[in-house]
Structure 1
Amino acid sequence: MTTAPSRFHIGLYLVSVTGLSGLAIGLSYAVFAAGLTDGVESFLTDPSGTVLGNPVGVLGIAGVFGTLFCLFVAVIVGGARYADQNRQRK
């Protein structure tokens, strides 16, 4: 990158990473509060029973994984875009 990123872009990056982190934590709590304490293991051992028994928990697990994926992409893309490209390794 030849020009320094603007404060707006850095702020947008920080807000998006903070928001996605908060969403992942909130969804994780929602999965726990929905009563799916066995987590992914119960879904892997008996998928149909888990979906019928607790559909909100299964949607919460899918939301957690989706949010973590988006957070990972945001950190990688933001780091690649806003990293100091002129820094020399010693």
Structure 2
Amino acid sequence: MSDEEFDLLDELYFVQNYDFIKESLGWEDELLLKTLNSLYQNGMIKCLTTPDTERFDAVDVFSEGKNLFYLATKKGLMAHNTL
């Protein structure tokens, strides 16, 4: 897990929207979307359209990511807490 992935997972213990994450970390869109996509592809986070509505279809984080909410999965939390 990269330092960026670790830092991003810190923000995702609770459902957060893209803008909140971006403001909290102070990252540029490119880095944030790249890191979100990496975590998503590895099953470490889930994507939601609203705070209560999880996406179960394939999500293109690069094109849709700024309009989504995110939450760490059990796998992501376990990986985050064992480092």
TM range (shorter): under 0.3
- The structure with the greater share of residues assigned to strand is 2
- The structure with the greater share of residues assigned to helix is 1
User: How does the TM-score come out when normalised to structure 1?
Assistant: 0.25
User: How does the TM-score come out when normalised to structure 2?
Assistant: 0.27
Bigger Rg, which one:
1
